[in-house]
Structure 1
Amino acid sequence: MTTDDTYPTLDLALRVGELLLSSGAGAADVSVQMQNVCIACGLRGVSASVTFTELQLTHQESPDEPGMIQVRDVRQREIDYEDLTLVDWLVRDLVAGAIDRDEARNRLAQIVSSGHERSRKVVTLAWGIMGLGVGLLLGAKPIVAAAAFVGAIGIDLIQRYLARRRLPTFYQQVAGGLFATLLAVLVIATHLSEHPSRIVSAGIILLLAGVSYMGAVQDALTGFPLTAAARCMEATLATAGVIAGVSGGLTVATALGIKLVNLTPGASAYPPWPEMALGGAISAGAFAFASYAPYRALLPAALLGMMSATSFIALYRAGLGVSWPSAVAATCVGLVSYTIAARVKVPTLLLVVTGVVPLLPGLSVYRGLAHLSADDPSGLVELINASVIFLALAGGVIFGEYIAQPLRREGRRLEQRLSGPRLVGPLTVRSVRRRKRTKV
C-alpha cells in the first residue's frame, strides 16, 4: 500500500475510533475496531494507542523506513447510541467487503453531520420519565416520584442551557444539584411530603456518573489502566459538583428558615420486587430512549432492566448482600444481551449499559464523597462498597459475554446440522464469504 493510501486509511480508522470512544465504548473495543478498519482496507501491522482524550495509530512499512503516525483528539459528548449503532454497522460492512474505504468515509461523514429525527423536547421528557423510574427504584411515594420527574426535566434543561454557553461540566453539575435540592425545599415548605432525603436522592441520581465509573472499571479489567484512571477522575469531579450544588441548596434553605428534618442526601431503600421490576423497566427503557437508541432496541432494553432489577432484589432478599446479587444480575444481562443484540442489530454495549442502569451505585459514591468532605471516615467505607459493586457489575457483564460467545457458536453449528439444505439463498453468510475467499 502506497503512502497516498495509508494516510486516508489511518484517518478513517481514527475517525471511527473517535466516534466510538466519545459515545461510551470501552478502550479495548475502540482499539480493536480501529485495527479492523485498517485490515479491511488492506493495511496491516498497525499499532493502536487509546487514552481518554487521544487516539494514535502507528504504521511502519518496513524496518528501514520511518513509521507513519497519526493522532486525533477526542472531544467528549453526550452518549449517542444511534451514532454508535450506525458506526458499528459501517465497520461490519467494511470488514465484510460490502463497501470500500471511500464509501465508508462518506457514510461516516453523514453520520457525524446529520442530526436526529427524535425531538430534543421528547428526549427531555424521556429523562423525566427516567427520573420517575428511579424514584420507584428508591421506594418513593407518588409525590416524591412526581418531584423526581419534574427535577429530571429541569436538570436536563439547565444543563443543556449551560452546555450551549460552554460552561465546564463541573459547574453544570453544581447547578443541577442546586436545582434538585431547591425543588426538595419547595416540596417540604408546601407540606406535600415529609421525605426530603428521597426527594433529593431521586433528583440527583441522574447527575451521578455511574455509567462513567462502570466504564472505568471495564477499561481497567481489559488492560487500559490509564484510560480507566482518567474516566474515574472525570466521574469523581462530576460527583463533587453535585455535592457542591446540594450543599448550596441546603444553605439557601437555612437562610430562608426552612428546616429539612432528618435529611440524609443519598439515602435510599429497596422497595418490594414489583416496584423494583417496574422501576427497572422504566428507567432502563427511558435511558435508552434519551440516549437515542434505535426504536427496535427500546423494548429489549426495558426487559433487561426489569430482569436485572428483579434478579437483584430476589437475591438481596435472600440475604446475599449487595455485591453478589449485582454480579449475578450483571452476568445475566451480559449473557442475554449478546444474543439479543444480534437479533435487533444493535451493539451489545447498548443493551448492556441500559440493562445495568437500575443497579448502578451512584448514590453510594455520592454518600462516600459527601461523608469524606464532612471529615466522616465512614465515607471511605461507602466508596469501597461502591467500588466493589462497580467491579461486580463490570466483571459480571464481561463474564456473561464470555459465556455467551461459545454458546452462540455451538448454537450455529447445531442449527447447521439440523436445518437441512436451504431452498433459497445460502445457509449462512460465512459460507458465502468463505467461497469468495477461495475464488480469490
Structure 2
Amino acid sequence: MRKQTVVAELDGSEDRKPQTDEARSAFTPPPGVGQPHLLEDDQPTSEFALPEGLSTEPPAEPEGSAFELPGGGPAGGPGSGQGGGPGGSYSSRQLPSTFTPAHGIPMIRLSKEAPWQDRMRTLLRMPAAERPVVETVQRHDGQGPAVPRVLDLTLRIGELLLAGGEGAEDVEAAMFAVSRAYGLDRCEPTVTFTLLSISHQPSLVDDPVTASRTVRRRGTDYTRLAAVYTLIDDITTEDTDVTLEEAYRRLAEIRRNRHPYPGWALTVASGLLAGSASVLVGGGVLVFVAAALGAMLGDRLAWLCAGRGLPEFYQFVVAAMPPAAMGVALTLLSPVIPVEGGTSAVITGGLFALLPGRALVAGVQDGLTGYYITASARLLEVMYFFIAIVTGVLIVLYLGVQLHAELNPDSALSPYQQPWVQMCAAVGMSFAFAILLQQERSTVLMVSLNGGVAWVVYASMHLTGEISPVASTAVAAGLVGLFGQLFSRYQFASALPYITAAIGPLLPGSATYFGLLGFAQNDLDRGLASLSKAVALALAIAVGVNLGGEISRLFLKVPGAGRASSRRAAKRTRGF
C-alpha cells in the first residue's frame, strides 16, 4: 500500500510540474488557445516528425514520366554518379578529384630583369584566366587610364612595327606590353597581315571595347623600328615616367623623322651589294663594275615606277631587267672583251639585290610560331615578288637567246679560292644590305661582321667539307639568328636589324639564275631542279634563323631572369 501511495504522489507531482521548453513541441498552441483534441492513437508530434499526409516512401511514378530513367540507364540513388554526370546526381560526399592541389595554385611571377619581349611572350602563350593581375607601370591619374586613348596608342605602335617588317608574335607582344603598362587588364591583341585589333573588357559584366587599325603602306626603315622599341622599353620600365601625351609626342617625332641615308646613298649601296655578290660567286673587276651599274640602273627605274604609283610587282619586274641586260651585253661582247668569271656572275649579282629575304624570313617565322594566316599572306607576297623577278629576267634572257648570246648553264659559278676575297665580299654585301634597310649607324658594323661569320661557316662546311649546301646554309643561318637574338636581348631592341642584313651572303642567287636560264632555253628539267634548290636554300635560311632565335631563348637566360623568359608553346595536334 505504501508503494502505491508513493507512486500516486509521484504521479500527482509529475502532473503538477510545468512543461519545460525541451518537452514543448513545435506545434504547441500559444497561450490562450486551447489544446486540440487528441485521439487515442495520436502521439505528440516533434519538430522533426513528418506532417500528416506525408510518407517516407517515395511515390510511384506513372508510366511515361518525364523523370523516368531511360532504358538501359544505370540504376542507383543519389550520389551514385560522379559530379552530376550521367547516372546520378551531384553529391558532396562523393566529390571527384579535387581541382585545387593541396599545396595551392602557384602564383605566376615574371622577373622584371627579363626583357619585356620575353615577359610578354610568356603572357601571350597563357590562357586569359591564368594570367597574373596587371601591375600598372605608368600611374598618372587616380581615376584610371583613358581606355580609348591607350588602345589608340597601342594600335599606332603596332602599326609601325608591322609596317617595318616585324613578325606577328613580336607585334602582339609589343601591343600587350603597352596596354598592360598603362593598367589595362584583360586585353587581347590580334595581328594579321594588314589588320591590327585589340579588345579590352573592363570586367565580366561590362561590355568590351574593341579598336582596329589597317596598315596601308609598308616601308623598310630599321632606324624607325629601333626608335619604336626604345619607346616601348621606356613605357614598360618603372624607372621612366612616360605619360600618354608624352608617348604620343614621341611617336609623332618617330613618324616625322627623315631616313638616315639619302636616296643617292641607297642607290650606291644597291650597286655595292650587286658587285660584292658577283665577286662572291667568282667575278672579276669588270664583272663587279657591270653588276654594280646594272643594279643602280634598276634601282633608279624602280624609284621612277614607285613615283608614278605602279604596284611593287611591276617595280620588281623593271628592277630585274637592267642587271640581266648587262649580263647579256657582256656575253655578246665576250669575243672582243674577255670577261673574268663569266657573265653569269653579273646576273647573279643583280638577283642578290632583289631577292626578298626579309619577307621570306618573317613569313616562315610567323608560320613556325603559329600565326598561319599572316604567314600565308607573307609567303604569298614573296611568291609574287619572285614571279616579278622571274618575269623581268626571262624577258631579257629570251631576247639574248634570240640574239644568239652564248648563255651556258653548264658553266657553274666557282668562287675565288682566296678566303680573304670571299670574306671581304661577304662583309661588303652585309654592309650594303644594312644601308638599304636604313639601319642605325651604330649597328652597321656589327651586322656586317655577323654576315662575314655566316659566310665563313657556310664556306667551311660546303666548299671545304663538301657538305650539302642546304645543311650548310641552315647551320650558318642558325648562327646568324643566335647572334642576332643575343645582340637584341642585351640591347632591348628588335632582332631584325642584326639578322636581315647578315643573311645576304646566303641568299640563293645563283640557283635562281640557272633555274631561269633553263626555262629560257626550254630545258624545263634543269630549270625546275635549280629553282627547287633555290626554294630549299631559302627555307633553310628562314628555318635556321628562327631556330637560332629559339635556342637563344631556351638556353641563354638574361642574368636574374630565372624561368621568367620561358614561354609555353602549343601542343601538337596529334592528327586531329
TM range (shorter): 0.7 to 0.9
Note closer, same or farther for the CA distance 1:56–1:151 as it changes in structure 2 (3 Å cut): same
User: Which residue, 57, 64, 68 being the options, matches 2:205?
Assistant: 64
C-alpha change, 1:375 and 1:50, in structure 2 (3 Å) is farther
Contact 2:331 2:406 in 1 (8 A): no
Which secondary structure state, in structure 1, belongs to the residue aligned with residue 301 of structure 2?
helix
Rounded Cα–Cα distance in structure 2 between residues aligned with 1:223 and 1:29: 12
Residue of structure 1 in register with 2:364 after alignment = 217
The alpha carbon displacement at 1:82 in A equals 0.5
Question: How far, CA to CA, are the matches of 1:298 and 1:264 in structure 2?
Answer: 36
Question: Deviation of residue 368 (structure 1)?
Answer: 5.1
Q: 1:265 and 1:288, CA in 2 relative to 1: closer, same or farther beyond 3 A?
A: farther
What is the distance in 1 between the residues matched to 2:397 and 2:519?
18
Q: Which amino acid aligns with 2:367?
A: A
Q: Which range moves more in the overlay, 270-279 or 104-113?
A: 270-279
Mapped partners of 2:483, 2:192: distance in 1: 30
Equivalents in 2 of 1:138, 1:394: separation in Å? 22
Decide which structure has greater helix share.
Answer: 1
- Please say which of residues 348-357 and 376-385 is displaced more in the overlay: 376-385
Q: Which whole-Å CA distance do the structure 1 matches of 2:391 and 2:260 have between them? A: 36
- Which residue of the partner structure matches residue 395 of structure 1? 543
- Residue 406 of structure 2 is aligned to residue 261 of structure 1: yes
How far off is 1:350 after superposition? 0.9
Post-superposition CA distance 1:141-172 (Å, at most 9, x none) = 21111111112211111111111111011111
Letter of the structure 1 residue corresponding to residue 256 of structure 2 = S
User: How far apart, CA to CA, are the structure 1 residues paired with 2:475 and 2:484?
Assistant: 14
Matched, 1:49 2:190: yes
Q: Residue in 2 aligned with 1:122?
A: 265
For 1:249 and 1:185, how far apart are their aligned partners in 2? 8
Q: Does the C-alpha gap of structure 1 residues 10 and 363 become closer, same or farther in structure 2, counting only changes over 3 Å? A: farther
> C-alpha displacement at 1:46, in angstroms?
1.5
Q: Using a 3 Å threshold, how does the CA distance of structure 1 residues 35 and 370 change in structure 2: closer, same or farther?
A: farther
User: 2:406 & 2:503 partners in 1: Cα distance?
Assistant: 33
2:175 pairs, out of 31, 34, 47, with 34
Amino acid at match of 1:290: L
Of the three residues 290, 296, 304, the one matched with 2:442 is 296
**Among 282, 294, 297, the residue aligned to 1:151:** 294
SS in 2 for 1:332: helix
- Is 1:235 the counterpart of 2:382? The answer is yes
Which letter does structure 2 place at the counterpart of 1:296? S
Match in the other structure for 1:103: 246
Q: 1:360 aligns with which of 507, 524, 532?
A: 507
The structural deviation recorded for 1:251 is 4.0
Q: Give SS of 1:331's match.
A: helix
Structure 2 counterparts to residues 209-358 of structure 1, below 5 A: 209-253=356-400, 258-264=403-409, 268-272=413-417, 273-316=419-462, 317-341=464-488, 346-358=493-505
CA deviation after TM superposition for structure 1 residue 8, in Å: 1.4
Q: Is the 8 A contact 1:211 1:360 kept in 2?
A: no
Q: Retained in 1: the 8 A contact 2:168–2:191? A: yes
Deviation at 1:51, TM superposition (A): 1.4
In the TM superposition, what is the alpha-carbon distance from 1:413 to its structure 2 partner? 8.5
Partner SS for 1:47: strand
Indicate how the Cα distance of structure 1 residues 368 and 32 shifts in structure 2: closer, same or farther if over 3 A, else same.
Answer: farther
The count of aligned residue pairs is: 412
Larger radius of gyration: 2
Deviates more, 1:122-131 or 1:179-188: 179-188
Amino acid at match of 2:507: L
Post-superposition shift, 1:356?
1.5
Cα deviations across residues 349-388 of structure 1 (Å, max 9, x unaligned)? Answer: 2111122121122554565577679682555544543443
Q: Which amino acid is 2:198 matched to?
A: L
Q: Percent identity?
A: 29
2:239 counterpart of 1:91: no
CA distance in 2, matches of 1:253, 1:371: 13
User: Following TM superposition, by how much is the alpha carbon of 1:215 offset from its aligned partner in structure 2, in angstroms?
Assistant: 1.7
Which of 38-47 and 365-374 deviates more?
365-374
| Correspondence for 1:171 | 314
Shift of 1:264: 4.1
1: CA distance, partners of 2:556 / 2:331: 53
Q: What is the CA-CA distance between 1:33 and the residue it aligns to?
A: 0.8
Q: 2:458, 2:473 within 8 Å by CA — same for their partners in 1?
A: yes
Cα 1:10–1:132 change in 2 (3 A) is same
* CA drift at 1:17: 1.3
Residue 29 (structure 1) shift: 0.7
Displacement of 1:78: 3.2
Structure 1 residue 235: deviation in Å? Answer: 1.3
The 10-residue stretch of structure 1 (365-374 or 305-314) with the greater mean CA deviation from structure 2: 365-374
- TM-score, with normalisation over the residues of structure 1? 0.85
Give the residue type in structure 2 aligned to 1:105: Y
Of 385, 388, 391, the match for 2:533: 385
Identify the residue that residue 31 of structure 2 maps to in structure 1.
none
Task: Give SS of 2:261's match.
Answer: coil
Whole-angstrom CA distance in 1 between matches of 2:455 and 2:503: 8
Q: Structure 1 residue 268: deviation in Å?
A: 4.2
Does residue 185 of structure 1 match 2:328?
A: yes
How far off its partner does 1:211 sit? 2.2
8 Å CA contact 1:281, 1:306 repeated in 2: yes
Cα 1:20–1:413 change in 2 (3 A) is closer
Equivalent of 2:345 in 177, 180, 198: 198
How far 1:100 moved relative to its partner? 2.4
Q: CA deviation at 1:70?
A: 1.6
Select between 300-309 and 135-144 the one with higher mean Cα deviation: 135-144
Give the unaligned 5+ runs of structure 2: 1-140, 563-576
Cα root mean square deviation, aligned: 2.8
Q: Distance in 2 between matches of 1:290 and 1:219?
A: 24
